[in-house]
Amino acid sequence: MSKTLRFGLIGAGRIGPVHAATLAYHVPQATLAAVADLNQQRAQALAERFGVLRVLTTGMEIIADPDIDAVAICSPTDTHADLIVAAAAAGKHIFCEKPISLSLAEIDRALAAVAKAGVKLQVGFNRRFDSNFLRVRQAVASGEIGTPNIFHIVSRDPFPPPLTYLRPSGGIFLDMMVHDFDMARFLLGDEVEEVYAQGAVLVDPGFATEDDFDTALVMLRFRSGAIGTIDNSRKSTFGYDQRVEVLGSKGKIATENRYPNQVIVSGEKMVYTDAPYLFFMQRYPDSFAAEVQAFTESVLEDKPVAVTGEDSRVPVVMALAAGKSSREHRPVRMDEITA
């Protein structure tokens, strides 16, 4: 393989342009060679924006191209498994946005195809690459704060998605909180045994018509005995709310929101800052670039990927357990989720 990894981008929607920018500007060992999207106008616009010469219609066209070394799958979730299976059979390395599927059987089918082909697969849990969260992980792993006892994640979007987005997404646990389930096991370096979830519709009554929640709270029990909570909301009026705290036997570590500036305004009656970054595109550009950089290096240097297929499967199990818990109003153990 050449010293440059040639990517084909599948999907030019919301996350596609984020990865296109990374490949075009931030990973010197990679190049964006082709873009595919069923919406040709959208694909053409993205290609022109980043100087990509080849615009195709389907992901299968990208996969069939002998000049493509790796695919970045940024299409809707229900297409991921089939594209992974096809890409693996074609010998392409695969970077895929989360989740691989909403179905464990489909995830297992995709992972089996990757294992059989011997290609690399990394799934896009970008928050693992955020410098703040990495510092939390370092503090836990090194024993700096002792043994973790209590863990808390706050993850709230600035505004809800359109209702048409909800049903294909799998709902708040599989679409939104799945990132936080991944962070829980990553930051503590521990596995979750049991979840207890509560959900509510407090932002937009339309969520109820889609059999979904816009507000959710989950309690986690880890194998070590530590306990934790995750709270999600689809509407945070002050911006993208992303915080973590771990309380250990020797101290605590916490990370707050990121802001466009560090200015503090002091007046006669109050002291305040500007609002945090609006949404994930502004909050996490460095981590999006870092995850693609890590994947590129893993392929070119034949190293293990940073987020494995199994890493991507476990948060889906946790999300399915949370959904079951919210429906049945009881704690659910991970080993109850088998399909």
Q: Are 54 and 40 in contact (CB under 8 A)?
A: no
98, pLDDT greater than 90: yes
Mean pLDDT value across the chain: 96
Question: Side-chain half-sphere of 141: how many Cα atoms within 13 Å?
Answer: 10
pLDDT in tens, 232-262: 999 999 999 999 999 999 999 999 999 999 9
Does the 5-119 domain belong in CATH 3.40.640.10?
no
pLDDT in tens, 180-209: 999 999 999 999 999 999 999 999 999 999
- pLDDT score for 277: 96
Q: Which residue has the tokens 């305004």?
A: 265
Give the fold, CATH level 3, of 129-279+315-336: Dihydrodipicolinate Reductase; domain 2 (3.30.360)
* Domain residue ranges of the chain, discontinuous segments joined by +: 5-119, 129-279+315-336
pLDDT in tens, 148-183: 999 999 999 999 999 998 888 899 999 999 999 999
- pLDDT score for 2: 56
Query: Which ranges in 35-162 belong to alpha helices (H)?
Result: 40-50, 59-64, 80-89, 104-117, 131-142
Residues 6+ apart with CB under 8 A from 215: 199, 200, 201, 202, 203, 232, 233, 234
Give the mean pLDDT of 20-32: 95
Give the mean pLDDT of 26-49: 95
pLDDT in tens, 309-339: 999 999 999 999 999 999 999 999 999 998 7
Measured distance between the N- and C-terminal CA atoms of the chain, rounded to whole angstroms: 38
Query: Partners of 121 in the beta sheet?
Result: 94
pTM over 0.85: yes
C-alpha closest to that of 194 among 171, 217, 151, 228: 228
